Amino acid sequence: MKISINNAHLYDVSAELTLVFALSTDELLHEGVLSELCFKAEQDEICYLSEFKTLYVGVEANEHDLFRSAAATAIITVSKYKYKSLKLAQYDVNNSEGIFSALVEGFLLGGYKFEQYKSEKSPLFLEEIIFSSRTLEDEHSELALLEAKLLHAQICANATNFARDLVNATPEDIYPAKLSQIAKELSEQNGMSLKVLGEEALAEEKMNAMLCVGRASRHETQLIHLSYTPKNPVATISLIGKGLTYDSGGLSLKPAASMVSMKLDKSGACAVLGIMKAISELKLPVEVHGIIGAVENMIGGDAYKPDDVLIAKNGKTIEVRNTDAEGRLVLADCLCYAQEKVKSDYIFDYATLTGACVVALGQHTSGIMGHSASLKESICDSAQKTGELVGALPFNRYLKKQLKSDVADISNISNKPYGGAITAGLFLDNFIEKENKEKWMHFDIAGPAYVESAWGYNPYGASGAGVRLTLDWLSNLK
């Protein structure tokens, strides 16, 4: 689908369908007809006037994320019609409120469909969306500025959809070696370097916690290290992604219903790949290392067991009390590897780590944990600008004691059923070097990573949580 900008007023632009976002019902071109049809301009409310070839969509307030959601509603509605082209006006001059960018993202994110496994695909009629560079009141925006914003928004949304595609693919199609192959193709297409460590190399790196998790799988465990290294970077960042291509729970087997959709456990890794794709296309002046622990947690005679004691890369010993708390074991070794191999200004990890985070914050919100208040604040700023929801969960010394082990340095789960998202973050904190504590942030994306009931601009399935938020944060580094 092509998205373009025309310098003419909306009513001088040629298209088969006109889209109007309504913040109220006052002074609309078809005000009388809309009133007869009881259109109230409530958020995401739609009214299609076939006679006038016009679609109205309500927007509750002049906020970018509400426009993003309304754009998604519009594109889902229009996809049911046979119109090939659609036109709309601007709703803030020069994207001053971020509304133009939000609309572009809303169209691309809301129009996303994953139909790889469908024998019959949905028909695609809409071929072009045309923005006027002017508001309905004929206020003019700079064409060059809008074109730059259009490109940026397209890259960010397409990277998010790229991550969605990877998460939505079945575990039979995406396993650790396949994830490495995808990273290889991405590195070749986008001019990045790649290093992949198989099980022999991981053993040499003493990454035994990660290796044990994947021991019962027929697929080789692999570490993927993708690097984007521009000249004279303003900062260096390490992004670590949990890449459980499937999680059965291991010998601490999940209930049958809980195993459905566990392909989502690679969402952190896929978010990292989406971010790496976008930063290389945006040519951001930051050096970024994407490090992924690609593992499959299965059962079998060689599976790691509760009561095992694992030795992580940094030498710390871990008592296994539950093999379904495997993601933190993978991340522990990957965090150690990242700190040893790269001197970073910031270290972020992304994982669908705990159901407890969903209990704490709900299914729409990612939990963020770390030691730096200023870093949390800057991440919350980017979350607000992109419409991604985050909530900070606080560390404390009392919860830390719940990870105590009598037989090893630390247990892989808490000894109490409370504060599970925070104790998982505190477990990871054991693998962050003292000099890096203020540089590190943990993102538990278990809530929003996979959508069971569509909301906003997120259809059923993977959402690509973390991609746009991180891209905004990276874009503002100086």
* Amino acid letter, 321: R
Angle at 93 between CA 91 and CA 96, to 5 degrees: 95
Copy the structure tokens of residue 144: 């060059």
Would strands 193-197 and 222-228 be described as parallel, antiparallel, or unpaired? Answer: antiparallel
> Is the separation of the CB atoms in 167 and 22 below 8 Å?
no
| 328 assigned to active site | yes
CA distances from 305 to 208, 260, 308 (A): 14, 23, 6
| 68 assigned to active site | no
The catalytically annotated residue of 206, 215, 254, 316 is: 254
Type and span of the H or E element at 110: helix 99-110
CA–CA dist 146, 303 (Å, integer)? 54
CA–CA dist 321, 352 (Å, integer)? 19
The catalytically annotated residue of 313, 328, 385, 468 is: 328
* Amino acid letter, 168: N
Would strands 365-370 and 287-297 be described as parallel, antiparallel, or unpaired? Answer: unpaired
DSSP string computed for 331-381? HHHHHHHHHHH---SEEEEEE---HHHHHHH-TTEEEEEES-HHHHHHHHH
Give the full edge-to-edge strand order of the sheet including 389-392: 193-197, 222-228, 287-297, 236-247, 346-351, 440-444, 365-370, 389-392
Count of CB atoms within 10 A of residue 79's CB? 16
Burial of 417-442, coded b for 16+ CB within 10 Å and e otherwise, reads eebbbbbbbbbbbbbbeeebeebbbb
Which residues belong to the active site? 254, 328
